[in-house]
Structure 1
Amino acid sequence: MGDLASFRRPSPRSSARTGARERQPAPAKAAESSSWRDAARGLGMVLLVAPLAVFTAVLLVDGAPEVRASAEVPQAAAPPQVVQASFGPCIGGERHTCVVDGDTIWLNDQKIRIADIDAPEIYSPDCPAERALGLRATERLTQWLNAAPFEVHPNPDGRDEDTYGRKLRVLARSGTSAVAVLEAEGLATRWGGRGREWC
């Protein structure tokens, strides 16, 4: 009988005590659940703050959009060069400030092809009439250059030099270009990409 006693069912009271002992870890589970909630809250704060931090960093590196836009505003074009000099015909090898023909000059040791003008040739004319007209155009351009200060403007199409290395410039005074004066007197024409037939 002593052996049978060891196989007795536990009494309800002892079972209750045992169950109570087995349910003791429950507070640990509650603490574990609380720690997960805290971690979730922390993750939410990170997800909220991280985009703000990235946006702030971008502004610090690139600058505000208004600042970038103001830096891209194109600057005004440089003012034209105002010239007052004494011009004569280009003779001999030394050419500093002189007139070659009706559309080419030297100015301060720089050869300039007047960009918007086409005048008759005097050095390689197609006929005597072209040379005679070219000499008149050269004389008239010299008079215009010496009459008063004039402006030297950049070439409107953006090219700085022609195929011969001459600087391409527009000469004007009080808003009127030199070509307008010579054209009105029949001594030149506006450059249109091809020389005019003068014969």
Structure 2
Amino acid sequence: MTTQSFATTVADWAVGLMETLGAPGAGVAIALENLFPPLPSEVILPLAGFTAAQGTLVLWHVLIWTTAGSVVGAVLLYGLGAWLGRDRLRSIVDRMPLVKLEDVDKAEAWFNKHGDWAVLIGRVIPIVRSLISIPAGVERMPMTRFLLFTTIGSGVWNTLLVGAGYLLGDQWHIVEESVGVFQKVVIVAVVLLIVWWLFKTLRNPDRPKHARQR
């Protein structure tokens, strides 16, 4: 299936949900998008905005329901991270080649220091916006703060994309193309970071596997 045909399939599916459930259908679609990142919010949200512009849905209903859907999806992933837990994560990492427990310790320390901003900013970055909830759960970020920053970040992202679809009308697909470019930049950045990390790891093969446990 090509990217274009996949986007068309997602669009048809989202339209069906909104026709059946109204604005809550857009919320359901976005909740699922959080759980399954291959579902593109850059298709669902602008399309919901376009539908609102046609008078089929009420704009503020769409914004509320899509943000609620984002939060529900994020909480489920937070729960996955909490279930996984620090000890189970370390046990998994300890069995993985090239990955060191001290790397986990560094990531944990970074998240503990920047967790609020990571969750807030992560909600407006493709791919990261879904995955950021898992480390938040692993680190047991206080739920009130997690909900606050997730709601704010999701609200901003959803408002931008729904609003763009509302204003662009039948040209809503332009949003998908623009976000797609941004997503490719993110993917390239992640790949470069992985390559750099592998290079650094392979240059230091004698680093101890076990960092001091807390």
TM over 0.5: no
Q: Which has the higher contact order (CA 8 A, sep 6+)?
A: 2
Q: Say which one has the larger Rg.
A: 1
Q: Which range, TM-score by smaller chain?
A: under 0.3
Alignment TM-score, normalising by the size of structure 1: 0.21
Is the helix fraction higher in 1 or 2? Answer: 2
Alignment TM-score, normalising by the size of structure 2: 0.20
Is the strand fraction higher in 1 or 2? Answer: 1
